[in-house]
Every structure is written in C-alpha cells, then in structure tokens.
Structure 1
Amino acid sequence: MSLRLADVYQAYSGTPVLHGLNLDLGAGITGLLGPNGAGKSTLLRTMATVVPPRSGSVEISGVRVEGERSARRVRSRIGYLPQDFGHDPGMRVLEFVEYAAWLRGVPARQQRDSAMRALEQVDLASHIRTKMGNLSGGQRRRAGIAWAVVGDPDVILLDEPTVGLDPRQRIQFRGIIKNFSHATVVLSTHLTDDIEAVCDRVVVLNDGTITFDDTVPALAALGHDGLPGESALERAYMHLLPQEERNL
C-alpha cells in the first residue's frame, strides 16, 4: 500500500493552491499540519481523487490515476472523511456504514459484516439502530471514521476528525486511529498534541508548499524557548511559519 504524489499542482479558478508537491507515503500514520488556507483540505481531496490535479500525478497502491476510469479503480482502496461529511439524519448508523461499504465495492454478502466490524472498531456497535441525527457530536465523528475505514482500505484520509471533540473523546479517537497504522493514514489537524500522540511522520504545509517532512521527534527538535507555544512541537511548528504569521 502506498500513496505517491509527483509534482502535483492544483488551482481553483486560476488561483494556485498547491505548488508542485512531491510526497511518498507508505504504511503508518502521517500528520498534516498547516495554517488555515495552507491547502490541506485541497491536498486531501486531490489524494482522494475527488478532484484531479491540474498537473502532476497521483498514484494509489501502484495504480497511477490518469483519468476517471483509473480513479474509479482506486477509490475502493481509499477511505476519505471530509471535515464536514454529509449524512441523512434519518439513516440508521448501520445503514450509513453499509452504504459506505457498498460505495467501496465490498461484495453485497459481506457488506453487513464489514460494517459491523468497522463499528466495533470505533465502539459504536451498540448504536447500530440509532439514527444518525440522534448521535452526539463525538458519536457522529466515530461513525464518520467507521465510514472511512469500512472495507479495510489501503489509504485512509481524515480531515480535521477531532474538531468539536472534548478531551475524553479525543483520547478515544487516538486509540481508535492507532488500530489502522497498517494502512497509509493521513491525519489533517491543527492540534499538535494529536500529532505527537499518534503520528509516525509529520508534513507541514504552508501556502501550498511542503516546508517540513520528517519524523515527529525531528520536528520537535526545531522548537526553542524563544518561540511562542506550550510544547516543543508547538514551538517547532511556529518556527516553520513565516514571521508575520508567528505574531499572536
């Protein structure tokens, strides 16, 4: 399993968003950090084949995505959770995840069992008959994670999955996501403590350009006492921002 981007350029309405990105990811959990507007969500949408790059290439598990036909081939291997994922509030939790299994190409006879396994992994097996609209915010996030992981995809892309979660729920989320380190996981977040808790690698994106790509300890080593932040990782992240963005 792998995810490779080569010279990926992305733009919307003629405005550049990603500038010739190169990234090679294997199994493990990679954290994606960056300020608002850095291009993180655009990068995840490009990785998920939701939008094709304007130039450059995306390769998923050895398949180069060169058009809609090849994109359809790899989508069954990708679990993607946008920050604001849509759902029918009247749909029951099991139905919601079964639908994701169907979209991912899981054979019909295996869809229910696959959905149940995903819900057990996120500790929602006792809520299979609950309507999505009746879940708490934390439960809805966990249902979204089940949507992303059902069918055991090779690549799992999570965009700000801990937004709105309280500290207890975030700790629970970390335990859940560690179970999928055998896949290629990309976790986009603003929270450096989530990065420190679960990630093997961290990529920092700023203004559509990768400014750092290495291990979490290597990033923490860049932090020094003269920078704002409560931890070495926060200070290191601030170190990578342009001077005008460091001022609090």
Structure 2
Amino acid sequence: MIKVNALTVRYPRTATPSVSEVFLQLTEGVTALLGANGAGKTTLLRAVSGALSPTSGRVTIDDLNPYARRERKSALNRIAFMPQTAAVPRDLTALDFVAYLTWMRGKGRSEARSQAMQALDAVGLAGRAEDKLKKLSGGMVRRVWFAQALAAQAGTLLLDEPSTGLDPRQRATMVELIRGRAKGTVLLSSHIIEDVLSLATSVVVLREGRVVHQGPLTSEVNESWLLSLIGDPEE
C-alpha cells in the first residue's frame, strides 16, 4: 500500500513547488498518473520511490517510511522503480545490469542472475541478454529497465512512462505484463490514454503539481474527459 500525506516537493531556487499538498492512498490494482508536461508526475514518482526527499509531508510504503533511516531499507525492498530517463552503464550486458541491481537488493548472486534472466525473457530480450547495453536500441533499453523492475519481485511497482520508445507490439506486451501485476500495487505515469483506459483500475490527474481528480476508472471515463482534466501542456 502506498500512502502519501500532504506531500510537497520544491526544487532548490524555485518559488513554486513541483508537487503541492498531494494526498494518495493506493492499494491493489493499477493506478494511472496523468498530467501535462510539467504537471509533476515524475517528481511525485521519484518522491514515492525514495529517490527525492519531500520538502514537507510524508510517504509510506506498507507503513514504512523510505526517508526514515531505520525503515529505509525495508521500505525500498518493497518498491521497484522504472525511471523515464536514466543513464545506464553502456559496457555492461543487459543480463549483468539487471542481475547487479537485483543483487543490490540482497539476493544471492546465483538467484539474482536467475531472476534477471527470467525478467529479460518476460520482456522479450532473452536473446539479447549477453549483448552490451550500448548495442541495444532505445526501446530495448526501456525494456531492460522494465526487466529490472520485474526482477525485483516487489509488491509495489512505480513506472514512469513505461511505453515510451516501444513499437505497438512491444507496447501490447508491456501492457499485459503490467496487467499481470495488478494483484500488487502499480502506480504508472503515461501519456498514452489508450493504454490507460485498457489497463488502469483507477486514475490520478495532476495539474500544476496538484491533484485535480482521483478515482476509479469506470466505463463513464473516456479519453475526451481525461484530456479536459489534464489541460494544455506546459509551453
């Protein structure tokens, strides 16, 4: 379970918070985080993941605070985060990269490598597991990042634009893999409304760092309605 209580994040030397007074409580299912560019989606995901300290407010994962020294390790072991953009060690193979991140979570080397290989197979990259990351396309690297989230076998998945750079077939595979994790807690940001409508069980809409809508994704929710809530992207 993800709980966010009055979360505010303000970056240094900025007057306006990127995220302001956000309240969330997410349990089982897939929650889509929507908003225009600059709405605060990535900031919120990073704050929930333990990567970006809040200016004020509180985040808990299964009642553990990822920013409390004594609770941080246990909290982070319950989370798997797929960033939208992040540098990768280009001279590592896909398998070594995913296995290393899995090992860093406390798994034995053999177990980490086995889980990494299973995850790469799930995202359709078993045949490229021994290729160095610098030889993979941008879409393949996105799938490697998703594989490391799957390999973590965490109860909570945080996915920042997981379908970016994927072709239609890869997108469909990604959607099915995420749907398969719906018994856990999944919070994902996406600008692809079609995927959101087919996948999510609930939706949170951010505008200028504030939640303007939060609720179940019912049959009455459609693309036009969501786009009207999202508003115009930041110029």
With the length of structure 2 as denominator, give the TM-score of the two structures: 0.91
The one-character-per-residue Cα deviations of 1:55-98 (angstroms, maximum 9, x if unpaired) are: 11111112134434422331122111111122112211110110
Residue 120 of structure 1 pairs with residue 121 of structure 2: yes
In structure 2, how many angstroms separate the alpha carbons of the residues matched to 1:118 and 1:7? 35
The one-character-per-residue Cα deviations of 1:181-216 (angstroms, maximum 9, x if unpaired) are: 122111101110010121111111111111111122
The corresponding residue for 1:95 is 96
Residue 10 of structure 1 pairs with residue 9 of structure 2: yes
Secondary structure (helix, strand or coil) at the match of 1:142 reads helix
Matches within 5 A, 1:1-248: 2-13=1-12, 14=14, 15-217=16-218, 220=221, 233-241=222-230, 245=232
Q: Retained in 1: the 8 A contact 2:206–2:230?
A: no
The one-character-per-residue Cα deviations of 1:100-124 (angstroms, maximum 9, x if unpaired) are: 1022222334211121221222122
In structure 2, how many angstroms separate the alpha carbons of the residues matched to 1:62 and 1:241? 30
In structure 1, how many angstroms separate the alpha carbons of the residues matched to 2:211 and 2:106? 33
In structure 2, how many angstroms separate the alpha carbons of the residues matched to 1:205 and 1:30? 13
Q: Retained in 2: the 8 A contact 1:106–1:151?
A: no
Which range is displaced more, 182-191 or 119-128?
119-128
In structure 2, how many angstroms separate the alpha carbons of the residues matched to 1:11 and 1:174? 32
Q: Retained in 1: the 8 A contact 2:34–2:230?
A: no
Aligned residues: 231
Q: 1:179 to 1:76 in 2, by over 3 A?
A: same
**Deviation at 1:128?**
1.5
With the length of structure 1 as denominator, give the TM-score of the two structures: 0.87
The alignment's C-alpha RMSD in Å is 1.8
What is the percent sequence identity of the aligned residues?
34
Q: Retained in 1: the 8 A contact 2:2–2:62?
A: yes
In structure 2, how many angstroms separate the alpha carbons of the residues matched to 1:92 and 1:27? 34
Q: Which runs of 5+ in 1 are unaligned?
A: 221-232
**Deviation at 1:148?**
1.4
Rg larger for: 1
In structure 2, how many angstroms separate the alpha carbons of the residues matched to 1:114 and 1:179? 17
Secondary structure (helix, strand or coil) at the match of 1:24 reads strand
Secondary structure (helix, strand or coil) at the match of 1:182 reads coil
**Deviation at 1:241?**
4.1
The one-letter amino acid of 1:235's match is S
The one-letter amino acid of 2:53's match is P
Secondary structure (helix, strand or coil) at the match of 2:218 reads helix
In structure 1, how many angstroms separate the alpha carbons of the residues matched to 2:215 and 2:34? 12
In structure 1, how many angstroms separate the alpha carbons of the residues matched to 2:46 and 2:5? 15
Secondary structure (helix, strand or coil) at the match of 1:164 reads coil
The corresponding residue for 1:223 is none
